[in-house]
């Protein structure tokens, strides 16, 4: 996943794609889109702005591979002019709507290819009356292509004067996540060693949630004594202390940095090696999103969803509320209201068909926007060579 920094405030070398995201959301989908282009080795950088809010800048092919925050407001036309002078984007992408004819005219005057992506009816509602309609018609003809989230939005674009050949109905651009990488040899060795053992993963677990996890594991082991807990703490530096605490609670413990694979006698494996979440999501059919029974922000639930692991979580989901809501609407998660219910939920998901149905529903949600994302990536890749990228 793209990381965030505050350090870069000037244009990087090479090509730059600029995304403007309105207040009504869409930043998560854009970050996912940037991630996709970075993973595809698209040699360009990205600046993402939101009006009057914290802004995201991501040098996609830089050595650091991080995102950079800057503050940007385009309430004054001069602010937009200054932004364009500094960043000199090769391509501009306006997200969803909330269009301003003056802004679009300034961008178009720079001869920058301009796209409207994920156009929604809500974002196009502000043009009312003859004067507004006249301004809109001139503005919409400045876009090279308009990607509509649905047929209704496409009709609205036509009503505002967009030529039909510039409109494409793609569906909504939604946040997802690229599958995290893993070592396939490690996965095969673990799969062979664990064989038919039931496994669950508790990922990004804070220290104040350890007691909840161990109690749930104890409960699950009463129903299936071979259950293995893979416990991934929030910090690798806490692994030794957590391992000691788990042993004191009466469990047989292995630590990933000390043993390659757990033995049949091990009941808990402390996953303390960095960058192995992708491995454990593939190995464990069930994932508990750590921190959701504490005050620690959880990881993005689309991470395990993209890799076929059934998701269980508590009520603390504010950081990724929209993602959890989408999964819940599709019956792609088990949402628990109290920690004492976790053990029973694990036992229920230990039936393979139950976990498989849940995981498949979650995978459908996490991958639902892939075609739209690919279409946008293709458009932007095609635009860059025309700018001498």
Q: What's 78's domain CATH number?
A: 3.40.50.11720
Q: Is residue 139, in this structure, part of any structural domain at all?
A: yes
Residue 156 structural domain:
3-174+369-387
Residue closest to 147 by CA, chosen among 93, 91, 100: 93
Q: Is residue 179, in this structure, part of any structural domain at all?
A: no
* pLDDT of 337: 95
Q: Is residue 138, in this structure, part of any structural domain at all?
A: yes
Same domain (yes/no): 134, 99: yes
* pLDDT of 352: 84
Q: Is residue 339, in this structure, part of any structural domain at all?
A: yes
Q: What's 202's domain CATH number?
A: 3.40.50.2000
Same domain (yes/no): 149, 60: yes
What is the three-class DSSP state of 91? strand
When divided into structural domains, the chain yields a total of: 2
Q: Is residue 321, in this structure, part of any structural domain at all?
A: yes
| pLDDT per position as a tens digit, 256-315 | 999 999 999 999 999 999 889 999 999 999 999 999 999 888 888 999 999 999 999 999
What is the three-class DSSP state of 47? strand
Q: Which two tokens stand for residue 259?
A: 């043993």
Residues of the chain with pLDDT under 70: 1-9, 23-25, 41-43, 52-73, 125-135, 385-389
Same domain (yes/no): 275, 358: yes
Same domain (yes/no): 131, 213: no
Same domain (yes/no): 303, 379: no
Same domain (yes/no): 116, 237: no
CA distances from 196 to 45, 192, 259 (A): 46, 9, 20
Q: Answer for the pair 99, 76: CB distance below 8 angstroms, yes or no.
A: no
Same domain (yes/no): 8, 106: yes
Q: Is residue 108, in this structure, part of any structural domain at all?
A: yes
Burial string for 106-139 (b: 16+ CB within 10 Å, else e) reads bbbeeebbbbbbbbbbebbeebeeeeeeebbeeb
Same domain (yes/no): 149, 201: no
Cα–Cα distance for residue pair 227/213, rounded to 1 Å: 13
* pLDDT of 24: 56
Same domain (yes/no): 230, 276: yes
Q: Is residue 292, in this structure, part of any structural domain at all?
A: yes
Question: What is the DSSP track for 184-223?
Answer: HHHHHHHHHHHTT--EEEEEEE-GGGHHHHHHHHHHHHHH
Give 3's strand partners. Answer: 66
Same domain (yes/no): 199, 343: yes
Q: Is residue 354, in this structure, part of any structural domain at all?
A: yes
Same domain (yes/no): 159, 192: no
Same domain (yes/no): 361, 314: yes
């Amino acid at each position: 996943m793209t990381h965030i920094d505050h350090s870069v405030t000037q244009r990087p070398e090479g090509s730059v794609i600029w995304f403007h995201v309105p207040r009504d959301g869409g930043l998560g989908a854009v970050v996912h889109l940037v991630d996709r282009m970075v993973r595809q080795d698209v040699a360009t950088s990205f600046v993402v702005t939101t009006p009057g809010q914290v802004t995201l800048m991501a040098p996609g092919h830089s050595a650091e591979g991080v995102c950079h925050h800057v503050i940007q407001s385009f309430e004054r036309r001069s602010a937009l002019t200054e932004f364009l002078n500094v960043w000199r984007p090769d391509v501009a992408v306006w997200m969803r709507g909330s269009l301003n004819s003056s802004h679009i005219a300034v961008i178009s005057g720079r001869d920058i290819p301009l796209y409207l992506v994920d156009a929604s009816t809500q974002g196009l509602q502000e043009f009312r009356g003859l004067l507004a309609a006249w301004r809109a018609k001139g503005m919409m003809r400045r876009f090279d292509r308009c990607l509509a989230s649905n047929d209704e939005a496409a009709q609205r674009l036509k009503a505002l004067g967009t030529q039909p050949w510039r409109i494409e109905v793609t569906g909504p651009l939604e946040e997802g996540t690229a599958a995290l990488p893993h070592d396939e040899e490690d996965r095969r060795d673990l799969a062979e060693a664990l064989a038919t053992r039931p496994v669950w993963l508790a990922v990004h677990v804070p220290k104040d949630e350890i007691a909840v996890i161990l109690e749930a594991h104890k409960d699950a082991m009463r129903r299936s004594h071979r259950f293995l807990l893979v416990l991934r703490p929030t910090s690798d530096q806490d692994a030794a202390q957590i391992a000691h605490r788990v042993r004191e609670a009466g469990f047989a413990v292995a630590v990933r940095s000390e043993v390659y694979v757990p033995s049949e006698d091990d009941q808990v494996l402390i996953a303390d090696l960095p960058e192995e979440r992708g491995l454990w999501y593939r190995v464990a059919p069930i994932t508990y999103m750590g921190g959701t029974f504490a005050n620690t922000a959880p990881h993005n639930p689309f991470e395990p969803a993209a890799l076929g692991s059934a998701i269980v979580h508590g009520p603390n989901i504010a950081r990724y509320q929209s993602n959890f809501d989408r999964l819940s609407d599709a019956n792609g998660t088990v949402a628990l209201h109290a920690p004492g219910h976790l053990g029973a939920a694990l036992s229920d998901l230990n039936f393979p068909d139950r976990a498989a149905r849940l995981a498949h529903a979650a995978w459908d949600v996490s991958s639902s926007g892939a075609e739209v994302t690919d279409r946008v990536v293709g458009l932007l890749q095609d635009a860059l060579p025309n700018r001498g990228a």
